[in-house]
């Protein structure tokens, strides 16, 4: 499964490969709430084909109309603002006073094929790369980066980081994993469920995700990176502890474990007996999830994804 950015750029590359005129639209600024976040991409061509989204559909329709009328035929790069009137707010679905600025860039095979191809390869390699666009010249340059940075747009210059989706490893294929996976898939996480037991894998009724039968430590050893999340959910120490031993000393960004405070204390004692250093054990988020009084599987799933979302948005927050 590829990210939405990957699909947008891949389609743009295919159009360029056929020498078809196309454009790339990027949300660079929003005021108030917006149907799509800053950095969202849309590619569209002269045949009114499009992939991606920058609104609920109205902005896309305007851009296609502009193509058909020739209004943006000669534009290299420019920024257009939508939602500046009450009528546009209502049409696009923005709150009163809200607006969206969209950067529209014409793409050409000569100047854009190469950087798009390199971005796609970086995403396949699970590497971050920064796109820098000069609006006056239309030139794009790329720079490798280790961290994902928020989009910056100022003084006719765009800086945008493309990076791999967060990869979520769920240990255990039970009902709670199905609930967590459902929310994670909707939020564009790449999800892999690992369980050495036959029946939980066979009776999986959650969303379509990668299901792997095997011991989690063997699988995590070769597949985790700094954009990975590992959460143990089986309640079976023979499975969960092996996963935690590997994840806590590996490169995973976040490691969490389901269980009560008492269960967590016993787990910490076992990990210490297994030789896991205290510094590694301190990385463990347990009991996993925000403390919101959750009881049902879906409520617990909301708490888990909520904590991950909070930490991604505010890395230094105290959860």
CATH classification of the domain holding 290: 3.40.50.720
Q: How confident is the model at residue 2 (pLDDT cuts 50, 70, 90)?
A: confident
pLDDT digits (tens, 9 = 90+) for 91-139: 666 655 678 999 999 999 999 999 999 999 999 998 999 999 999 998 9
> Quick check: 319 pLDDT over 60?
no
In a domain, 157, yes or no: yes
288 occurs within a structural domain: yes
List the beta bridge partners of residue 79: 103
For position 31, what pLDDT does the model report?
Answer: 85
Assess whether 124 and 216 both reside in one domain.
Answer: no
Position 189 in a domain: yes
Among 113, 143, 162, the domain-final residue is: 162
- Number of folded domains that form the chain: 2
User: Sorting pLDDT into bands at 50, 70 and 90, what band is 37?
Assistant: confident
- Whether residue 119 is contained in a domain is answered as yes
Q: Which of 122, 142, 162 corresponds to the end of one domain?
A: 162
The range of the structural domain enclosing residue 194 comes to 167-313
Residues 158 and 171 in one domain: no
pLDDT at 76: 84
Same domain, residue pair 265 and 152: no
């Amino acid at each position: 499964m590829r990210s939405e950015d990957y699909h947008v750029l891949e389609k743009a590359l295919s159009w360029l490969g056929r020498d078809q005129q196309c454009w790339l639209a990027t949300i660079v600024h929003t005021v108030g709430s917006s149907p799509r976040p800053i950095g969202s991409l849309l590619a569209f061509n002269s045949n009114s084909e499009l992939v991606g989204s920058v609104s609920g559909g109205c902005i896309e329709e305007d851009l296609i109309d502009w193509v058909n009328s020739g209004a943006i035929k000669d534009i290299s790069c420019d920024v257009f603002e939508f939602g500046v009137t009450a009528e546009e707010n209502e049409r696009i679905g923005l709150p009163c006073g809200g607006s969206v600025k969209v950067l529209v860039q014409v793409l050409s095979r000569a100047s854009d094929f190469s950087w798009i191809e390199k971005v796609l390869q970086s995403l396949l390699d699970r590497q971050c790369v920064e796109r820098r666009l000069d609006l006056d010249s239309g030139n794009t340059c790329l720079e490798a980066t280790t961290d994902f940075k928020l989009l910056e747009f100022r003084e006719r210059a765009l800086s945008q980081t493309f990076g791999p989706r967060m990869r979520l490893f769920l240990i255990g294929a039970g009902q709670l994993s199905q609930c967590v996976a459902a929310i994670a898939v909707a939020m564009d996480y790449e999800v892999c469920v690992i369980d050495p037991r036959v029946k939980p894998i066979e009776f999986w009724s959650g969303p379509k995700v990668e299901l792997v039968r095997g011991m989690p430590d063997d699988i995590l050893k070769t597949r985790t990176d700094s954009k990975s999340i590992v959460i143990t959910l089986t309640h079976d120490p023979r499975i969960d502890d092996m996963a935690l031993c590997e994840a806590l000393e590996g490169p995973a960004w976040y490691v969490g474990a389901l269980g009560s405070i008492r269960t967590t204390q016993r787990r910490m004692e076992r990990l210490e007996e297994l030789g896991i250093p205290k510094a590694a054990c301190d990385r463990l988020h347990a009991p996993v999830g925000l403390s919101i009084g959750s009881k049902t599987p879906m409520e617990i799933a909301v708490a888990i994804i909520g904590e991950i979302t909070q930490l991604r948005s505010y890395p230094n927050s105290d959860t």
